[in-house]
Structure 1
Amino acid sequence: MGAEPVPVPAPLLEAKDFRFDVDHLSTLISNKTKLIILNSPQNPTGGVLTEADLIEVSRLAIEHDLWVLTDEIYSRIIYNGAFHSIASIPGMKERTIILDGFSKTYAMTGWRLGYGVMNRGLADLTARLVTNSNSCTTTFVQYGGISALTGSQDFVHEMVEEFRARRDIVVSALRNMRGVTCREPSGAFYVFPNVTEACRNLGFTTAKELQQHLLHEGVAVLPRTAFGSKNEGEQEEYLRLSYATSRENIRKGLELMKQVLEQ
């Protein structure tokens, strides 16, 4: 019988552009801790851990002899500077598991093609699990992945620049809505505005209530609690908006949202 894992959340802080506090992370590590899980760039916030953050996390991992699992599915969709993987830090290659895939960078959402990078011993064990749970990826999807990797990468840069333009449209519009504040995301294709005041203005207790109201008005967003329970002491209310759609649809949705918030 295996042990039951107990996840311990490290809150993402709006004041730190939705990065966690590494000093606080160190207080969460105990003699029962086995693994640190990272997601950067992040869904749902669009936050990105800095190289300095990752160096500190690696120090903790080495000091406490921990594995790190890092979800890097949005690593090519980044707007400020270069992407940094914790696996590139000295001493981390053998204790890091990288998860990545094709759905974001190569717009292959729904094709379910991904991969892991880890040491050979763990890879052999993982292969046994995957072979018996998924068998294999369908043939045409494998050929699509080969074409994505071996073809020109120019379109990736073009896609990221388009996402940057959409991000700027969304952030600017949200910052001009009553009761809304919004940090500028550094990666992925989401924004995570603070709608605490907007909820109060409309008589809603939670962002979930606001989300339901917006949905009935024709705007589909997600509340913060769609991504897990609130952390202890967390009082603010947030929505997640995706800008993985056309500029026309983005502007239409933002106009409807503004009308609802300022009615």
Structure 2
Amino acid sequence: MANIKVSNLFKEVKPSPMLQMFEAASKYTDIISLGIGEPDANTHESIIKAAADAGKNGFTHYPPVNGFLDLRQAVSQYWEEKYGLESTPDNVIISAGATQAIYLVLQALINPGDEVIVPDPCFTPYMQAIEYVYGVPVPVSLKEEEGFNMTAEALEAKITEKTKIVMLNSPGNPTGAVISREEALKVADVIKKHDLILMSDEIYEAFIFDGEHVCFATLPDMQERTFTIAGFSKTYAMCGWRVGYAIGPKNIINIMKIINIGTTMSMNSISQKAALYAIQNCESEVDKMVEDYSKRVEYAYERINNIKGLSCIKPKGAFYIFVNIKETGMKSMEFGMKMLEEARVITIPGISFGPNSDDYVRISCTIPIEQMEEAFNRIEKALS
């Protein structure tokens, strides 16, 4: 029998608490999931028709490695019209979801031992992607009393001579935090002071309930050092189509294009044509979805703060709530398993999102209010 040895990088790899929770849930019936981080709506039928038409019209061959020109033009136009970010198609690369765009930036820029500052809590794959390119993730603990936003002071305290990239996410997953323009300017000043690179994950830019979305690349003297990450999964309910992108300095985007030849080669042709139709024609559908999610988030916020042992601050964007469970006396995995076993409700342990987030769980407001009501009824009963 062959003695196949796993790579040293992956021999200690373990499933995240998030994956463990979903695997544990597969044993039960009558489950209500507050864990899924994607819109519950199906992709709009007009987008699906655009994809079918593209297939019928011959878009079944290899596309350009960096994405179709018309889609890159549309992405560039979208960000200029909506946020004032001036770019050309050469500044854009289309990727297999926003997660791949993040990975391509890291592959292009990180040398072994380089430090990447990340928020804690943060989207779980940030840490994995940094480690996969032999970088060192440096978490900055976000404070609930500061709205779960990274402050300039907290960022400054973590910078060393090895720091190369700062990763930010607003609106944020798992917190729903939205950074103010005032604080964003202060953070940008720290990044410029230390000559760092910013990777700004703005995948939830359309989901703003309170305040405004700040596009970091439009702040003074930030465009030359910023990679804006976004995509179609959340905004257009297209998670399964896997279309994301990065906007950044064209010399690095070109390197990412070359790297992509050795990974996915190019992005799905038909999905790109569906995405092109969506970004050009579906803003009214986006507005309806955001309005609906705003109501769901408002309901969940009120309900959580009326359950003994739980509390939360009101999210300003995205569709998540980071629930404080300290008063229950449980850490996040214990709480999550209790809710699964006794209430048949899936929540995501905070430890999934960073080492300093074990006193929280994430819930997603991605199911109808009627289902959320039943889920919270079950949680309240289990905690009583």
TM over 0.5: yes
| 2:244 is the alignment partner of 1:135 | no
Provide the secondary structure at the position in 1 that maps to 2:303: helix
CA drift at 1:43: 0.6
- Choose which of 346, 369, 372 in structure 2 pairs with 1:220: 346
Contact 1:13 1:21 in 2 (8 A): no
Identify the residue that residue 194 of structure 1 maps to in structure 2.
Answer: 324
Q: Tell me how far 1:85 sits from its aligned partner.
A: 1.1
The question of 1:246 aligning with 2:368 is answered yes
C-alpha distance in structure 1 between counterparts of 2:282 and 2:228, whole Å: 24
Other structure's SS at 2:186 match: helix
Q: Higher RCO, 1 or 2 (CA under 8 Å, sep at least 6)?
A: 2
Q: Does residue 151 in structure 1 map to residue 262 in structure 2?
A: no
Matching residue's letter, 2:326 = T
Stretches of structure 2 that go unaligned for 5 or more consecutive residues are 1-109, 114-134
Q: What is the rounded CA distance, in whole Å, between the counterparts of 1:168 and 1:24 in structure 2?
A: 29
AA at the equivalent of 2:285: F
1:87 aligns with 2:224: no
Query: Given residue 37 of structure 1, which amino acid in structure 2 is its aligned partner?
Result: M
| Preserved CA contact (<8 Å) 2:201 2:230 | yes
Choose which of 49, 63, 88 in structure 1 pairs with 2:193. Answer: 63
Q: How does 1:1-263 map to 2 (within 5 A)?
A: 2-4=111-113, 5-198=135-328, 200=329, 204=330, 206-216=331-341, 217-230=343-356, 237-262=359-384
Q: SS at the partner of 1:192?
A: strand
Counterpart residue identity of residue 259, structure 1 = K
Q: How many residues align?
A: 253
Structure 1, unmatched stretches of 5+, are: none
How far did residue 228 of structure 1 move?
Answer: 2.3
Shift of 1:32: 1.6
Please state how far the C-alpha of 1:182 moved relative to its aligned partner: 1.0
Secondary structure, counterpart of 2:241 in structure 1: coil
Q: CA deviation digits over 1:125-165, x for unaligned, max 9?
A: 01111222011222221111011111041111111110010
Amino acid at match of 2:345: V
What do you get for the CA RMSD once the two structures are aligned? 1.5
Shift of 1:90: 1.2
Distance 1:81 1:44 in 2: 18
TM-score by length of 2: 0.64
Which residue identity does 2:278 align to in structure 1? A
Partners in 1 of 2:149 and 2:333 — Cα distance? Answer: 23
Give runs of ≥4 in structure 1 deviating > 2 Å.
Answer: none
Query: Is this contact kept in 1: 2:206–2:235, CA < 8 A?
Result: yes
Q: Shift of the alpha carbon at 1:2?
A: 3.9
What code does the residue aligned with 2:138 have?
V
Deviations 1:212-247 (A, max 9, x none): 01111210001110112227xxxx611100011122
- For residue 43 of structure 1, give the secondary structure of its aligned residue in structure 2: coil
Q: Secondary structure at the match of 1:193?
A: strand
Equivalent position amino acid for 2:335 in 1: L
Aligned-partner Cα distance in 1 for 2:211–2:162 = 36
TM-score normalised by the chain length of structure 1: 0.92
Report sequence identity in percent: 31
